[in-house]
Structure 1
Amino acid sequence: MSEQHFDVSIIGAGVSGIGMACHLRRECPGKSFAILERRQALGGTWDLFRYPGIRSDSDMFTFGYNFRPWVGDKVLADGASIKGYVQATAREHDVERHIRFGQAVTDADWSSVNKVWTLTARNEATGEPVTYTANFLIGCTGYYNYDQGYQPDFPGAETFQGRMVHPQHWPEDLDYAGKNVVVIGSGATAITLVPTLAQQAGHVTMLQRSPTYLMPLPSSDKLALGLQKVLPDRLAYRLTRARNVAIARFLYQRSRKNPKLMRKVFLGIIRRQVAGVADMRHFTPDYDPWDQRLCVVKDGDLFHALRAGTASIATDHIERVTETGIRLKSGAFLEADIIVPATGLDIQMLGGIRPRVDGQELQLRDRVVYKNVMVEGLPNAAMIYGYTNASWTLKVDIAAEYLCRLMNLMDRRGHQTVVARDTENSASDETVLGSLNAGYIRRAADRLPRQGTHGPWRAGQNYLEDVKILRFDPIEDGYLEFDGKRTHARAPASGGFLRPLRSALFGS
């Protein structure tokens, strides 16, 4: 068993892990670090998912890192382009050599005596155990299970004579040309898959229990391209990014404050897209906008497929799967050669690792999260995960900046340990993933950490507020203990509201 020590261990070499590592290189250049990645390639989600048409569901000018411009006019980029962007970013910041591929971390143990984390990993190629130690642990594993997605138990599924393929494990040899394909689901994966499969399949049916709010979005941004032609890349990127942050925040806030109005707006847009080709009942959700995530339709491709007759939508419930298709509770029957259950994710935090503190397992579901970055009672550790109502990477950047600020302060003051303490018992029943009512979040409610009712324990899913909290508010706020001692709260930085707002829109 080999052993190696680093100042910082990052688990996961996806968008979050590479982003955290780049910030360490930029803001904590003296820190040694390693990225422990289970797979044999970086990219995380964008290396794992290979289904046809995979793309971003957020605009790339806010999904890109704040320190490295996304260049081009693509608003919604394909998976390979995103992976290439992440890989180029890692290479540019000399991060690739710090990645330990094929290392599946299985255990994480904190010792208060030694003031280090001991990580036990399994070498995926040889099965041999490898031990790493680190002063600080940062989980960048996202919040879903990479081994398997969520798939309900469909009655009769074992009798189906065709192929049943989950998008998370799309086989390279799947031939769907000329076949009847049924995609079960109405979320972002289904909205992406249906029009892409329809280009070659005989017919594709999207089978949904209930509709989702949809928003057509052009795949290219002519204004962004125009700015790139006349302005330096970084300035053009910041201006486009600021515009898109503002638009996304406006749509979300209006949806929460005036759901009836925004419901009319969203449904009005879709009504014009499907007039004469589909019944609006397939596009009229029974919940308010942003109770679940809004799904983007690239260039209206789903609506084009419906108009062309290569795709259709069924809103119904499954009675049972048969040898040749799916029988619905309405009595209708969908013939299928291939069934694709795009039924969502299986949620887990820290890649399924159950951290221990001095030998005692810490149950994440019993803990609140501090500033949506650190777990109460978990020393020298953090988790980085993105927003549910905005681009993932917006949160990655500012969370990474905060952690670099924290570690630099600890170095200046000579502190070895830091831990967040909730002395006010502020825990609520709401999870850290916020108020979204998506099925994958409801199913994981018993596994997710809690958020608090107020203060730094409240996870507001608000980028503009988080910029102020994570980038500008003092580290020593009275909630953190350094070396077992709580520090007094320090006065917030001056600059009022304009400085954080300007920073949120135009970058640090």
Structure 2
Amino acid sequence: MNTHYDVLIIGAGLSGIGMACRLTRECPDKRFAILERRQAIGGTWDLFRYPGIRSDTDMCCFGFEFRPWDGIKVMGDGPIIREYVTDTAREYGVDKKIQFGQKITQAAWSSETASWTVTALDEASGQERRYTCSYLISCTGYYNYDQGFLPEFPGEARFHGLRIHPQHWPEQLDYKGKRVVVIGSGATAVTLVPAMAQGGAQHVTMLQRSPSYIFSIPAYDKVSEFLCKLLPERWVFGFARRRNIFFQRALYKAAKRWPERVRAFLLNGVKKRLPEGYDMRHFTPRYMPWDERLCAVPDADLFNAISAGKASVVTDHIETFTENGIKLQSGKQLEADIIITATGLNIQLFGGIDVTLDGHRGDVGKLMTYKGTLIQDVPNLGIIVGYTNAPWTLKADLSSRYLCRLFKYMDDKQMRVFTPRAPQGEMLDENILGSLGSGYIRRADDLLPRQGRALPWRVLHNYEQDRPMLLKDPVDDGVLQFTPAPESANAEKVSLAA
């Protein structure tokens, strides 16, 4: 089967559904399809099923601008987010444009035909399918769906209990009355610990090598709940979105300008939530705020679990797994029936797809991004990657709107191909997520696109600057190279950096 579309979107998660809805709203003449490997809408929010899974930012900002979140629960849990994304897809009719069970193996650009050929394996039938499109948009996120990061631990084969990675959570896991150790201190760990403590575990221990910054936010937006009694919901939640974006950005900017003050503010907030005399070294990171992502918890649930004696935090290094738990370098023994390795993600761009241009296979990690949305020297390819220092969807939606602007410009000018061209010496030896020191980013430095010296090749992670750049600045800025259809112009052969 070989089917042609104007636009092919890879991935039916939050980014892919958002891109499809933007196309439906702003480019209704475009024929498009979504190719999704899984059998459901939702991406990350369908894959991860561990207890308590939730957004790590407020839903007013995490939701789509064109379909505002209208609940008073601040941080949405996994089922709520899946329902929200699925309902959005149905409302805009894009659920009918999804082809499920399609594992993309290759995307090949041809300058001769000015089109992409996408090869997919239908995992149910085992049949190979081919699709062609004028524009290809990757909405696969930046991590490997098949395998999370799992370091080797000494003696791990000796452990007689159950060992689980949150990315592969067993269905119907019974952990009531069980002793649980969660290895990690990031967003997944701080979610799992209180959820399992409240869910009936005998005791849950968070074992960390080093602490993260953790702060509490309200579980429910009581201001919006009150205002909904007086004003139309559309006004109330539009205001809540603008308010929350402002406060999030203000906290980030303050952390970069006055790191010691913000550090003191965050640590003081934790101290107030813990029992008097609690050892604060378990919540005092070595780095400054926003050198790595902050972890938010609703209504101090983690601190409440600790105060109630249902959970504890241990800061130490693992010497070895034992038959009944973990022996630490300090000599302490942690008894466990279940060990959860919340040790992070493996970075993977384009869902591991083999990308070629005119027969040349390349390494996207050696190229820059243009406005964080296109790839240097790669024709007619868009990539949707959200923020690391703000809600993912803010940047994803800006990129989707920009791509719609670009497609309309191409139609107006009767152009067929766009290609971002960078000047010599623009590239720096750092990746686009290098401002964060998280382990999963350091491990994947050579896999991520490179950072440029200046705009539009530098990824700012700055909503205030990205918004006008993507939505207002001229599409034809002298950096994008445009060419008409191949039959009316010589198609330039391109090659991807190897």
Aligned-partner residue type, residue 226 of structure 2: G
Alignment check: 8 A CA contact 2:415 2:484 kept = no
Aligned-partner residue type, residue 468 of structure 1: P
Which residue matches 2:48? 49
Aligned-partner residue type, residue 430 of structure 1: E
Which residue matches 1:33? 32
User: Which runs of at least 4 in structure 1 moved beyond 6 Å after TM superposition?
Assistant: none
Q: Which deviations, in whole Å up to 9, do the C-alpha atoms of 1:402-436 show, x marking residues without a partner?
A: 00000000001000000101123311122112400
Alignment check: 8 A CA contact 1:318 1:327 kept = yes
Report the 3-state secondary structure (helix = DSSP H, G, I; strand = E; otherwise coil) of the residue aligned with 2:445.
coil
Alignment check: 8 A CA contact 1:320 1:328 kept = yes
Which residue matches 2:355? 355
Which residue matches 2:103? 104
Which residue matches 1:271? 271
Which residue matches 1:383? 383
Alignment check: 8 A CA contact 2:364 2:449 kept = yes
Q: Which deviations, in whole Å up to 9, do the C-alpha atoms of 1:431-466 show, x marking residues without a partner?
A: 112400000100010101111011201101001110
Which residue matches 1:481? 481
Aligned mates of 2:191, 2:238 — CA distance in 1? 28
Report the 3-state secondary structure (helix = DSSP H, G, I; strand = E; otherwise coil) of the residue aligned with 2:451.
strand
Which residue matches 1:84? 83
Which residue matches 1:411? 411
Cα RMSD (Å): 1.1
1:245 aligns with 2:261: no
Aligned mates of 1:45, 1:230 — CA distance in 2? 36
- Listed as ranges, the gaps of 5+ residues in structure 2 are 486-498
Q: CA deviation at 1:274?
A: 1.2
Q: Which deviations, in whole Å up to 9, do the C-alpha atoms of 1:213-255 show, x marking residues without a partner?
A: 0110111001122233333333222211110011000000010
Aligned-partner residue type, residue 352 of structure 1: G
Alignment check: 8 A CA contact 2:148 2:167 kept = yes
Which residue matches 1:194? 193
Aligned-partner residue type, residue 333 of structure 1: Q
More deviation, 408-417/235-244: 235-244
Which residue matches 1:167? 166
Q: CA deviation at 1:276?
A: 2.2
1:445 aligns with 2:483: no
1:135 aligns with 2:118: no
Report the 3-state secondary structure (helix = DSSP H, G, I; strand = E; otherwise coil) of the residue aligned with 2:229.
helix
Aligned mates of 2:155, 2:186 — CA distance in 1? 24
More deviation, 12-21/319-328: 319-328
Aligned mates of 2:407, 2:280 — CA distance in 1? 53
Aligned mates of 2:274, 2:81 — CA distance in 1? 31
Which residue matches 2:71? 72
Q: Which deviations, in whole Å up to 9, do the C-alpha atoms of 1:7-62 show, x marking residues without a partner?
A: 00000000000000000000000000000000000100010000001111010000
Alignment check: 8 A CA contact 1:60 1:70 kept = yes
Alignment check: 8 A CA contact 1:277 1:307 kept = no
**Within-5 A mapping of 1:394-405:** 394-405=394-405
Q: CA deviation at 1:484?
A: 7.9
Q: CA deviation at 1:286?
A: 0.3
Alignment check: 8 A CA contact 2:4 2:132 kept = yes
Aligned mates of 1:275, 1:263 — CA distance in 2? 20
Aligned-partner residue type, residue 214 of structure 2: L
Aligned mates of 1:420, 1:124 — CA distance in 2? 35
Which residue matches 1:179? 178
Aligned mates of 2:418, 2:236 — CA distance in 1? 39
Taking a change above 3 Å as real, the CA distance of residues 484 and 435 of structure 1, as seen in their structure-2 partners, is: farther
Identity %: 55
More deviation, 208-217/425-434: 425-434
What's the TM-score once normalised by structure 1's chain length?
0.94
Which residue matches 1:113? 112
Aligned mates of 1:227, 1:12 — CA distance in 2? 37
Which residue matches 2:488? none
Report the 3-state secondary structure (helix = DSSP H, G, I; strand = E; otherwise coil) of the residue aligned with 1:183.
strand
Which residue matches 2:217? 217
Aligned-partner residue type, residue 243 of structure 2: R
Alignment check: 8 A CA contact 2:416 2:484 kept = no
Q: Which deviations, in whole Å up to 9, do the C-alpha atoms of 1:328-385 show, x marking residues without a partner?
A: 0010010011000001010111101131100101211110010000010110001101
Aligned mates of 2:389, 2:54 — CA distance in 1? 17
Report the 3-state secondary structure (helix = DSSP H, G, I; strand = E; otherwise coil) of the residue aligned with 1:141.
coil
Alignment check: 8 A CA contact 2:379 2:419 kept = yes
- Listed as ranges, the gaps of 5+ residues in structure 1 are 486-508
What's the TM-score once normalised by structure 2's chain length?
0.96
Q: CA deviation at 1:322?
A: 1.1
Aligned mates of 2:445, 2:151 — CA distance in 1? 17
Report the 3-state secondary structure (helix = DSSP H, G, I; strand = E; otherwise coil) of the residue aligned with 2:456.
helix
Q: Which deviations, in whole Å up to 9, do the C-alpha atoms of 1:133-169 show, x marking residues without a partner?
A: 0000000001000001001100111111101000001
Aligned-partner residue type, residue 36 of structure 1: L
Aligned-partner residue type, residue 204 of structure 1: V
Aligned mates of 1:183, 1:288 — CA distance in 2? 24
Which residue matches 2:18? 19
Q: CA deviation at 1:277?
A: 6.4
Aligned-partner residue type, residue 234 of structure 1: R
Paired residues, what number?
484
Aligned-partner residue type, residue 17 of structure 1: G
Which residue matches 1:491? none
1:286 aligns with 2:286: yes
Which residue matches 1:341? 341
Aligned mates of 1:127, 1:447 — CA distance in 2? 29
Aligned-partner residue type, residue 382 of structure 1: G
Q: Which deviations, in whole Å up to 9, do the C-alpha atoms of 1:178-235 show, x marking residues without a partner?
A: 0110000000000000001112111110000000001101110011222333333332
Alignment check: 8 A CA contact 1:120 1:130 kept = yes
Alignment check: 8 A CA contact 2:414 2:484 kept = no
Aligned mates of 1:344, 1:405 — CA distance in 2? 36
Aligned-partner residue type, residue 70 of structure 2: V
Report the 3-state secondary structure (helix = DSSP H, G, I; strand = E; otherwise coil) of the residue aligned with 1:355.
strand
